[in-house]
Chains A and B, each alone.
Chain A
Amino acid sequence: MIGFALVFGFFAASLALVFNIWRLVAGPTLMDRVLAFDTMVINFIALIMFWGMQQETTLYFESALLLSMFGFISTVAFCRFRLRGDIIE
């Protein structure tokens, strides 16, 4: 059962990645691209978790943890740069 779920998960996250690429390349605004980047991070978190489950190891979960903790920082930094120019005031 988990096997099917994993295949589905891989499929869904990969499809999402393709969409992310589309938005990232096509834009048209800066915010579209920043959001695409942010979503991409989330999809990678999912992919890493799926990969760990498929390989039956917890070794990669810390990477996912770090991504989920810090992924949003870059997004915030881009946004602050756009809004205020200076990201740490």
Chain B
Amino acid sequence: MSLALIVILPFLGAVLPALMIRSGRAACALSAAWVTILALGLLLTHVPAVLRGEVIQVGWEWIPALGLNVNFFLDGLGLLFAGLILGIGLLVMIYARFYLAKDDPMGNFYTYLLLFQGAMVGIVLSDNILLLLIFWELTSLTSFLLIGYWRHLPEGRQGARMALIVTGSGGLALIAGMLLLGNIVGSYDLTDILQHDPYEIHNSPLYVPALLLILIGCFTKSAQFPFHFWLPHAMAAPTPVSAYLHSATMVKAGVFLLARLWPVLSGPDIWFYLVATTGLVTMVVGAYIALFKDDLKGLLAFSTVSHLGMMTMLLGFATPMAAAVAVFHIINHATFKAALFMNAGIIDHETGTRDTKKLGGLLLLMPITATLAVIAGASMAGLPPLNGFLSKEMMLAEVNQTAWFGQGWLLPLVVTAGALLSVAYSFRYVVHVFFGPQRDDYPSKPHDPPAGLWLPPAFLVGLVVLIGLFPDAIAGDLVRATTAAVTQGGAPDVHLYLWHGFTPALLMSVIAVAGGALAIWRYERVRAWWYAGPHPEAKAMFDRVVAAAIASSKRLVLGLHNGSLQRYLALMISAALVLGFAGFFTATHGSGARPLLSASPVAAIIWLVLLAGCGMVIRYQRDRLLAVIGVGVVGLIVAAMFVYFSAPDLAMTQISVEVVTTILILLALYFLPKETPVESSPMRRRRDAVLAGLTGLGTGGLAWAVMTRDFTSLSSFYLENAHDLGGGDNVVNVILVDFRGFDTFGEIIVLGIAGLTIFALLHAMTRGELYRRLGAWQLDMTKSADRHPMLMVVITRVMLPLVLLVGVYIFLRGHNMPGGGFIAGLVVAIGLIMQYMASGYGWAAQRMTINYHAFIGGGVLIAAVTGIGAMIIGYPFLTGAFDYFSLPVIGKFEVASALGFDIGVFLTVVGGVMLALAHLSDLGRWVSHAPVNEQPMDTLPGAERRHGEGSE
């Protein structure tokens, strides 16, 4: 349990800084730090068990049908990474407190940082790879927020976008790869995958595609060549972010995954040549670019690329010892690189620049900073007795034992060149910033920073020295436990020493250091050589690729999706036709055996009316008002048919919906052209007619075929059980509020959202460009002088109590007789709309101050509370309960929990319908510039016209 808590804590704690910022910056930083300390403390309680070799697991099923579980496990590798993430996270939080300027929104910063931290911890502790992928995507998102934290800087925004695109698309590939891997193994749990026989995985035909996709995911995240270009651009982030994301955490996620899947993926030649070669190229290219970067953070970024390449290469060697070296270097790199990033941040903070050409001679001006930089830089260069030296020596020893394409000498040569470059840029960081003559043109006067800024890197530098001097005592157990986890039992007995004796590796180191020192001594000449060489500009290429991708997807989307409803319908209907007729002609068919019922003459006439209504819609489709009347006729027949086929609930719903729909369409038609222009060519109309005719024939044939056969449906279950299980005799209503209450619940939420959306859209129309256009709009018709006829006002007033009574009646009887909350809601809404129609919206709204938003919210809440009520007494959501009571006078009656649910439905329907209609009509009044009438009805008919007032 505490394992899951380690992951959840940062997410939960992420709200704290956002809230605590009101109490000041210190409180904000402290709240974030305490969350991290708590999580780190929880992690540390597991250390003894993990070092003993135990694997701690915890988990729950989430969607077992998909193989998706929420389960976590902690072994050596997870411990190492979680420790780095939380430990360096804590240091970064302290550092950031002093780094961020006064006007930077600190609450946001710590919230993003904690979210990112939680996502990272999630990656390294997830057992289920689908869960891991979720956290993986979360790191891409949260790092986007962090890199773009200074959103006023265009570089920050562009860098964030580039990082998101590169790591996000890598994440997509990773998803596919992981799914393939899970498919090969038959489980999505890492603990199962790692126990699987690796040879079986290697021999699977899916191995190569899975490997390629997973590697794309890892290489993009870990900035491996040729995906390395995003990392330097991400340096536009505040330095604490760079120190955190780009030294210890995010970029190491790819390396983590390579290490995690090492037991099952490594082994075949393709793994070696892909992973080791990519790592090697990245290592050399990264170091080469780093040497010529003037921006300190850019230098460190490419150095990180180079070191990540080295780890990738070691994992690519696929020997247990090389994996152990990679693990050791992960620790060492995190310590010295985080320290150096913080150091670069200090220089930037205190001198106002991080451009090496403007720096130099800071040694005596910033002695503490200089000391830290010299030690961490020496470790990065791989000088004894620091930890960077140890892992580099071990790496060189591994390289010496590895042949590349059968050539034993090739790899050591290239790696030595890489090491040489690495020494050179490390020296350059130290020499060009801190040594040389003091200058008098620093952008601001350099001095050592407050302790809050130098203590976190000093702590890390302390580790650099201690691990270098006493490697086995400090890091030995952790490296052994982690190696055991990476290699899944194939671990060699690793022991860490400072001194390995005079070995070929030492010779390579000496060459590298001497060459690096030479390069810095003659830096101007080296730089001139570099200057003459090619400099591919990654950002321009990336921008071109993105622009081309956008242009081609635009062409594709706009080509297919051109906004023509006719085209979409034609395609969909054609597809349905082809499938339907293909099925029809490849199977036996004929009408069923059921005897036909005779049709009464009355029904025949009603169907004739239906045909007339349909014909009218087709004939007068361009005259929109006539078409609405035709649709009204069709709706009336449908209602009549429901009555004829004994579905009174549906008939009542249909009748009410018809009225509301007509009003809604007419309200909207006020703002629309009254006639539909001819847009399609005659050819196209003929095509559409053929399609429509064939579809009608097909649908009719289907209906005929189904209805002439006997079939069983679900309805018999509802008919038999509605009374006993749902406590109601009206099966339709019991289905709505009980059997399928969850559907209804979803539907009323949709209805509420629709009402609110219409409101929001209409609200948006009363401003901006539309405001102007609507304001200038003139209705081209002569208005009758009867604005609010007395006859209508009187009738609607008289009818209001009647309508409300009918509404209540239909609502209450709904459970046992036709009716229910939905119909009652429509009835009441129509009753209220009548008042609006009679006396105008403005007048009525002044006297009927009902908050329809609250109706919608309240309705959904009441329905939810009724549903949750069942959960409180231990039944599933929305389980209905009912009982019978009797009172004097009233007699026996039933109380069902479904009634509460129905009240929710009722309120939402009233709120949704009224919100939409009322505001649509309000817009109409506003557009016509008519004042709100003071009287409910016209007391002097025609007065408006006689006075010739401006409302026309």
Contact = CB atoms under 8 A, between A and B. Distances in A.
B58 interface: no
Nearest to B803: A69
A88 B928 contact: no
Interface in B592-625: 601-602, 605-606, 608-609, 612-613, 615-616, 625
B818 interface: yes
Contact of A59 (B644, B669, B818, B921): B818
Contact of A48 (B640, B784, B792): B640
Interface in B649-703: 651-652, 655-656, 658-659, 662-663, 666-667, 669-670
Given A37-B632, A74-B658, A89 B781 contact: no
A33 B640 CA distance: 20
Interface string A27-40: 00010011001001
A37 to B, nearest CB: 6
Interface majority SS (helix, strand, loop, mixed), chain B: helix
Interface majority SS (helix, strand, loop, mixed), chain A: helix
Nearest to A88: B921
Contacts of A80: 837
A74 B659 contact: yes
A70 B921 contact: no
Contact of B662 (A18, A40, A74): A74
B787 A89 contact: yes
Contacts of A78: 625, 628-629, 662, 666
B670 A85 contact: yes
Contacts of A10: 601-602
Contacts of A83: 783-784, 786
Interface in A51-80: 51, 59-60, 62-63, 65-67, 69-70, 73-74, 76-78, 80
A70 to B, nearest CB: 5
Q: Interface range on chain A: under 10, 10 to 19, 20 to 34, or 35 or more?
A: 35 or more
Contacts of A62: 648, 652, 810, 818-819
Given A40-B636, A66-B827, A69-B799, A20 B666 contact: no
A74 B830 CA distance: 11
B930 A89 contact: yes
Contact of A76 (B606, B608, B792): B792
Nearest to A70: B659
A41 B654 CA distance: 14
Interface string B822-846: 0000010010011011001110000
B469 interface: no
A85 B625 CA distance: 11
A17 B640 CA distance: 13
B816 to A, nearest CB: 12
Interface string B394-430: 0000000000000000000000000000000000000
Nearest to B827: A66
B840 A59 contact: no
A88 B833 contact: yes
B794 interface: no
B606 A84 contact: no
B870 interface: no
Question: Which residue, of A21, A48, A66, A77, has the highest number of chain B Cβ atoms within 10 A?
Answer: A66
A87 B648 contact: no
Nearest to B780: A85
B493 to A, nearest CB: 86
A61 B613 CA distance: 25
Contacts of A34: 629
Contacts of A77: 662-663, 666, 837
Contacts of A66: 652, 655-656, 806, 827
Contacts of A51: 643-644
Nearest to A22: B612
B840 A88 contact: yes
Contact of B632 (A47, A63, A74, A81): A74
A14 B605 contact: yes
20 contacts: A14-B602, A20-B609, A24-B613, A24-B629, A37-B629, A41-B636, A44-B636, A47-B602, A47-B640, A63-B651, A73-B833, A74-B632, A83-B786, A86-B667, A86-B670, A86-B924, A86-B925, A87-B666, A88-B663, A88-B841
Interface of A: 10, 13-14, 17-18, 20-21, 24-25, 30, 33-34, 37, 40-41, 44, 47-48, 51, 59-60, 62-63, 65-67, 69-70, 73-74, 76-78, 80-89
Given A17-B606, A84-B787, 5 more contacts: A17-B609, A73-B659, A77-B837, A88-B921, A89-B925
Leading 7 A-B pairs by shortest Cβ distance: A88-B921, A83-B784, A86-B924, A63-B651, A89-B840, A14-B605, A21-B612
